[in-house]
A and B are shown apart, each in its own frame.
Chain A
Amino acid sequence: MIENRPLLNILTHVVMILGVLLVMLPVYIAFVASTHPFDNIIRAPIPMLPGDRFFENYAEVLGAGAATTSPVGLMMLNSLIMAVGIAVGKIAISILSAFAIVYFKFPFRMLCFWTIFVTLMLPVEVRIVPTFEVAADLGLLNSYVGLTVPLIASATATFLFRQFFLTVPEELTEAARVDGAGPIKFFKDILLPLSFTNMAALFVILFIYGWNQYLWPLLITTDESMVTIVMGIKRMIETAEEQPRWHLTMATAILALIPPVIVVVTMQRLFVKGLIEPEK
């Protein structure tokens, strides 16, 4: 601290506390609502303190779902498979292509690089209909392959690995070659162990990205048993009744945000690295 200004220090904490309250308020309200019986919630104002139905409500959504949806336990399993599939898939194909682009000289190398770069400019939102048609023609609807594979091309991950490989000393490659190691052995025994931190950081970001997908699963899944939790919530609020079953919907919302939140909090340092590094 440069100078001591007690008033400013107090103001600092006031602003930070207000910021935290603003950020946490919706999550807190959702949690409170998820621990009450339905009757307590549909009478305004809703309670501000947690109720006594925590176990009952969560057991109900996890095991049976709300209204007409499939059990939230199953939705979470689908989300987990999709998130891990996307994260692992993106890391795997990106590290391989970055290795090829940095360590090999081959015709059309730059064309490959720019083709990968172009994916940045084509988010799924702008090519919705034709991408859906491709997936449908390939018979990928209502399958885990359909949920993951079309999303695993990643320019950002490729750039991150490319950037990192460029900082790996050339001496390592030379030494490996002198010792008679081919490209595969060099990749497996030297490059892969060196990339571990970067892979972990990317995994954190990509897991969240995969878990939070909404539009793509919305198009790809029509079968109730393939629904992911993030889109399942939308189904719960689309009821014919006047008010959705808010206590169960909010329990589902809390369940939907817990896995990515745990990942961010427990791996905060890796998360910040994974988020800020690729943009450098």
Chain B
Amino acid sequence: MLKNVTFGQKWIAYLLVAPQLGITLVFFIWPAAQALWQSVRREDPFGFSSRFVWFDNFQALFRDPNYLHSIQVTAVFSVSVTVFALALALLLAAFADRVIKGALGYNTLIILPYAVAPAVAGVLWLFMFNPTVGIVAYVLGGFGISWNHYLHGPQAMTLVVIAAVWKQISYNFLFFLAGMQAIPKSLIEAAAIDAAGPGRRFWTIVFPLLSPTAFFLLVVNIIYAFFDTFAIIHAVTSGGPARATNIMVYKVYADGFVGLDFGGSAAQSVILMLVVITLTVLQFRYVERQVKYQ
């Protein structure tokens, strides 16, 4: 944490941390405190004054069917994104680990989506699934499926999940591959000598040894699905149709900036903060443990 040999000039230290601390206080801590403050107050309809209302905003939220629906939508969305993004990345990484010729080419292409902005990823898939011009919608039409995510909630959900998974596979792939390459080859060879086939070796040796990576990625993917997918939802569906893709981060934005319900939006912010704090603590407790084991 601290070097044994340190410098004495304390004022220099304060100068050095000042920019980082200043920005953190002004743009992170203060707004978060504001959100907490607003979440226990209610403005009068004209916005002239506000009064302390204890937990009324929170109670109102949990009585609001739209909010309960949003929680449900978030659960479906984040579970689907996490499961598919992890499973596909693991499959690709398991095969990529076997590739000898052309590995660099495959890997470079697979990590490309990491560089693509979530909003751009959303628009690329939106174009493919566009009911009139999209190539996928056209092919689906050939199979007798009429695709119109502007009308059908489940189709809209499928579309945003696909875009979000596509974007996240690269990240998971890199971590899984790095994890697999860190497994000592001698373990795999020993199992091969004992006549365990590739499938058996994967499930009994590689997969258990990957579990720290997998757990870390699980938390990171949930954080991604909860918060970083805002751009995809905003660009592709705007939470619709009929709130079918109205995930919690999108609702905070929509209620705050479109609905101008500051108390309700702030209460939602506070709930989301609790979610991130829980996930971050999970992630770090776990990372600390991993460091000790090594």
Residues of A that sit less than 8 Å from B by CB: 1-3, 5, 8-9, 11-13, 15-16, 19-20, 22-27, 29-30, 33, 41-46, 48, 92-94, 96-97, 99-107, 109, 112, 115-116, 118-123, 125-135, 138, 149-150, 152-153, 158, 165-166, 170, 173-174, 177, 182-184, 186, 208, 211-212, 214-215, 218-219, 230-231, 233-234, 237, 243, 246, 249-250, 253, 256-257, 260-261, 263-265, 268, 271-272, 275-276, 279-280
Contact = CB atoms under 8 A, between A and B. Distances in A.
19 contacts: A23-B109, A27-B112, A44-B138, A45-B138, A94-B20, A118-B24, A122-B28, A127-B31, A130-B269, A158-B20, A183-B7, A183-B9, A212-B116, A237-B235, A243-B132, A256-B117, A264-B114, A275-B174, A279-B175
Interface stretch (B47-55, B59-67, B68-76, B119-127): B119-127
Q: Please name the 6 residue pairs, one residue from A and one from B, whose CB atoms are nearest each other, closest first.
A: A212-B117, A104-B13, A130-B34, A130-B31, A100-B16, A260-B115
B114 A46 contact: no
Contact of A26 (B35, B166, B171): B166
B149 to A, nearest CB: 13
A230 B230 CA distance: 13
B210 interface: no
Taking chain B's interface residues, is the majority helix, strand, or loop, or is none over half, making it mixed?
helix
B113 interface: yes
B83 interface: no
B23 A125 contact: no
Given A122-B28, A129-B35, A275-B171, A93 B269 contact: no
B24 A233 contact: no
Interface of B: 1-7, 9-10, 12-14, 16-17, 19-21, 23-32, 34-35, 38, 88, 91-92, 95-96, 98-100, 102, 106, 108-121, 123-128, 130, 132-135, 137-138, 166, 169-171, 174-175, 178, 188-189, 192, 198, 216, 227-228, 230-231, 234-235, 249, 252-253, 256-257, 262, 265-266, 269, 272-273, 276-277, 280, 287, 291
A257 B113 CA distance: 9
Contact of B21 (A97, A173, A265, A268): A97
B3 A129 contact: no
A15 B112 CA distance: 17
A129 B262 contact: yes
A158 B19 CA distance: 12
Contacts of B252: 125-126, 128-129
A257 B7 CA distance: 45
B23 A130 contact: no
Contact of A119 (B1, B28, B269): B28
A69 to B, nearest CB: 14
A116 B21 contact: yes
Given A121-B277, A122-B28, A279-B287, 13 more contacts: A8-B198, A12-B99, A20-B106, A23-B166, A29-B127, A100-B17, A104-B7, A106-B10, A153-B20, A186-B7, A212-B117, A261-B112, A263-B115
A270 B211 CA distance: 26
B190 to A, nearest CB: 10
Contact of B23 (A5, A152, A265): A152
A93 B20 contact: yes
Contacts of B5: 170, 173-174, 177
A233 B123 CA distance: 8
Given A183-B7, A243-B133, A106 B112 contact: no
A96 B22 CA distance: 13
A115 B29 contact: yes
A94 B17 CA distance: 8
A40 B234 CA distance: 28
B3 A103 contact: yes
Contacts of B14: 100, 106
Contacts of A264: 111-112, 114-115
B269 A128 contact: yes
B138 to A, nearest CB: 5
